[in-house]
């Protein structure tokens, strides 16, 4: 029961904290429901959300589940429905299971903007702001192929949980793109439940079964952090090229230290900011963009500091 209680997050955005304000039934209020609490990607997104909402004169509230899990996120949505804010920005934790609860928001007249993840049913939200995750997976495959160079061997994908729209799209893009490199043998994807420990043990098990492993693509922050641990435990750091997704402080430190060879970084603060802009447009009856794509960049140790604006906050 405790886990179903929403966590009221306080992000360290820099430049002074913008507090949660506002009461019930307030059209000038926006609520952000991230995929999970206290996680650098969503913290950075929250910072963009808070800044943009306060600039636009909206009060804000942020309610996140303790785990990336639709059974914990759904009751938060239902609670928010009762307070009837003008708009809700949400990262749905499951592309099907969250459709019912999110549709209740839209049916109540609340403007729903998807940030980061999306529902399969595209008729519910007015706008979706995210990275092009399929392209991100392709970029990961090209980056891994460049790192492996002339080498030959197996490559593994570590995914989170089926039904997470973003990581599913990354894995699909990677799988398709990696076919262009005959020296790389794709051994399939493994799900980790978004748990670093599972990612670590799946990497060591895959290494045992496929000693020719030359590359791993970890589709998000937790899978990447766990994969780095798995390779370290197996004594294969650097020998197996690891391409991660996201740029948490720990991932950035791992890149600098050589525990990870590349990161595909997103721009979560811009996702949060743009989500607010679309929500305000919807509330004011102006034109809304149904899909907005934000930047992705591949970082390696050589060029990471030139791209430090992509490092996430914590």
- Catalog residues that contact ligand T6T under the rule CB under 6 A: 35, 39, 41-42, 116-117, 164, 166, 220-222, 245-246
Type and span of the H or E element at 62: strand 59-64
Q: Which is nearer to ligand T6T, 222 or 261 (CB)?
A: 222
Name the minimum Å distance from CB 158 to ligand T6T: 12
Going by the DSSP 8-state scheme, the letter that residue 306 receives in this structure is: G
Q: Which two tokens stand for residue 281?
A: 């447009």
Q: Which is nearer to ligand T6T, 131 or 154 (CB)?
A: 131
| CA torsion through residues 39, 41, 47, 50, sign | negative
Q: Which is nearer to ligand T6T, 29 or 273 (CB)?
A: 273
For 48, 50, 156, 271, the CA distances from 185, given in Å and listed in that order, are 40, 44, 9, 34
Pairing of the two strands 7-8 and 59-64: antiparallel
Q: Which is nearer to ligand T6T, 6 or 37 (CB)?
A: 37
Nearest Cα to 39, choosing from 250, 297, 270, 261?
A: 250
Outline where DSSP puts E strands in 144-295: 153-159, 184-191, 213-218, 241-245, 262-266, 291-294
Name the minimum Å distance from CB 28 to ligand T6T: 28
Name the minimum Å distance from CB 125 to ligand T6T: 15
How far apart, in whole angstroms, are the C-alpha atoms of residue 46 and residue 50?
6
Name the minimum Å distance from CB 167 to ligand T6T: 6
Nearest Cα to 240, choosing from 256, 264, 258, 254?
A: 258
Helix 249-257 with 221-233: angle, nearest 10 deg: 40
Name the minimum Å distance from CB 161 to ligand T6T: 10
Q: Which is nearer to ligand T6T, 234 or 265 (CB)?
A: 265
Name the minimum Å distance from CB 206 to ligand T6T: 21
Q: Which is nearer to ligand T6T, 43 or 148 (CB)?
A: 43
54 Cβ contact list (under 8 Å, min separation 6): 18, 60
Q: Which is nearer to ligand T6T, 198 or 222 (CB)?
A: 222
Q: Which is nearer to ligand T6T, 111 or 170 (CB)?
A: 170
Nearest Cα to 38, choosing from 56, 6, 64, 71?
A: 64
Name the minimum Å distance from CB 209 to ligand T6T: 27
How far apart, in whole angstroms, are the C-alpha atoms of residue 199 and residue 191?
8
Name the minimum Å distance from CB 8 to ligand T6T: 19
Name the minimum Å distance from CB 103 to ligand T6T: 20
How far apart, in whole angstroms, are the C-alpha atoms of residue 305 and residue 314?
18
Under a CB-based contact definition with an 8 Å cutoff, are residues 139 and 298 in contact?
Answer: yes
Q: Which is nearer to ligand T6T, 143 or 222 (CB)?
A: 222
């Amino acid at each position: 029961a405790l886990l179903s209680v929403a966590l009221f997050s306080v992000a360290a955005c820099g430049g002074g904290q913008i507090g949660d304000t506002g009461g019930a039934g307030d059209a000038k209020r926006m609520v952000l429901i991230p995929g999970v609490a206290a996680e650098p990607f969503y913290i950075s997104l929250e910072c963009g959300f808070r800044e943009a909402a306060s600039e636009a004169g909206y009060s804000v509230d942020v309610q996140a589940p303790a785990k990336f899990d639709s059974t914990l996120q759904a009751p938060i949505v239902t609670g928010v429905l009762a307070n009837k804010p003008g708009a809700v920005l949400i990262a749905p934790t499951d592309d099907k299971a969250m459709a019912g609860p999110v549709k209740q928001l839209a049916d109540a007249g609340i403007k729903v903007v998807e940030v980061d993840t999306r529902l399969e049913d595209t008729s519910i939200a007015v706008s979706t702001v995210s990275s092009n995750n399929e392209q991100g997976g392709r970029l990961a495959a090209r980056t891994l192929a460049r790192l492996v160079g002339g080498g030959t061997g197996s490559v593994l994908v570590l995914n989170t949980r089926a039904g997470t729209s973003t990581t599913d799209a990354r894995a699909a893009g990677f799988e398709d793109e990696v076919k262009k490199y005959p020296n790389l043998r794709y051994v399939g994807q493994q799900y980790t439940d978004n748990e670093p420990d599972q990612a670590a043990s799946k990497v060591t098990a895959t290494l045992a079964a496929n000693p020719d492993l030359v590359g791993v693509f970890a589709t998000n922050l937790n899978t990447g952090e766990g994969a780095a641990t798995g390779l370290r435990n197996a004594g294969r750091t650097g020998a197996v090229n690891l391409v991660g997704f996201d740029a948490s402080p720990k991932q950035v430190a791992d890149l600098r230290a050589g525990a990870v060879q590349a990161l595909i970084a997103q721009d979560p603060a811009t996702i949060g900011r743009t989500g607010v802009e679309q929500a305000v447009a919807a509330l004011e009856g102006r034109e809304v963009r149904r899909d907005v794509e934000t930047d992705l960049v591949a970082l390696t140790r050589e060029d990471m500091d030139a791209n430090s604006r992509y490092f996430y906050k914590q």
